[in-house]
Amino acid sequence: MSSHITPLLERNRAFAATETRKQTPRRPFLPDQGLYIITCMDSRTDPADFLGLRFGEAIVARTVGGRVTPAVIQGLSFIGYLVETKAPEGPYFEAAIIHHTDCGSGWLASDEQLRHGFARRTGYEEDALVDLAVLDPAATVRADVERVLSDPRISPRITVSGHVYDVDTGLITTVVAPASPGASAAASPR
Ligand SMILES: [Zn+2]
């Protein structure tokens, strides 16, 4: 039976024949560039495109708006713990949180009817849905960097940074320089 992925299975067979694939089992599980990228699920904001990521260079987590969710905290804390216990000498990684302009999550704040309907359909609290919206990506990315830095489950050996991707220019601006959980320089005023 045909599905949307069927035409891409041909690309998969080409991938399976490449040297990259053949070397995969011998590769370390930690990404080459020491990066753990958290960004929006929007198909226009794929870090493979805007950062030119290649195979094995980064761990990528994508959520609505690139917001830091409990699942993101779980992933970050797991990989941090894995390095602490399996490769304590490192290298450790940088969690780079990237929010973007023109984010569809903004509808959750700007379109009341959509928000009411989605809340009714799913049971999510409306206030939480408003908080999820990325209207000012520099502000939400600052809040999410702080959220990771202040979570005691996150390894103090990693660093966390915040960035904004502008979909009009294609350029990324860093708004929070890398800091480690527990470092005094990390905490921004609340
Ligand atoms: Zn988005």
pLDDT band for position 33 (cuts 50, 70, 90)? confident
Element at 172 (helix H, strand E):
strand 172-179
| 39, pLDDT greater than 70 | yes
Mean pLDDT, the chain, integer: 92
Instruction: Report how far ligand 1's centroid is from the alpha carbon of 155 (Å).
Output: 27
| 190, pLDDT greater than 90 | no
| 189, pLDDT greater than 60 | no
Which pLDDT belongs to residue 187? 45
Q: How far apart are the first and last CA of the chain?
A: 54
Instruction: Report how far ligand 1's centroid is from the alpha carbon of 26 (Å).
Output: 35
Instruction: Report how far ligand 1's centroid is from the alpha carbon of 151 (Å).
Output: 24
Burial 105-143 (b: 16+ CB within 10 A, else e): bbebbeeeeebeebbeeeeeeeeebeebbbeebeebbbb
Instruction: Report how far ligand 1's centroid is from the alpha carbon of 69 (Å).
Output: 14
Instruction: Report how far ligand 1's centroid is from the alpha carbon of 183 (Å).
Output: 30
Q: Report how far residue 8's alpha carbon sits from residue 115's, in angstroms, rounded to the nearest whole number.
A: 34
* Mean pLDDT (whole number) for 142-157: 97
Which pLDDT belongs to residue 24? 82
> Other CB atoms closer than 10 Å to residue 144's CB: what's the count?
24
Instruction: Report how far ligand 1's centroid is from the alpha carbon of 140 (Å).
Output: 12
pLDDT in tens, 111-137: 999 999 999 999 999 999 999 999 999
pLDDT in tens, 44-90: 999 999 999 998 899 999 999 999 999 999 999 999 999 999 988 88
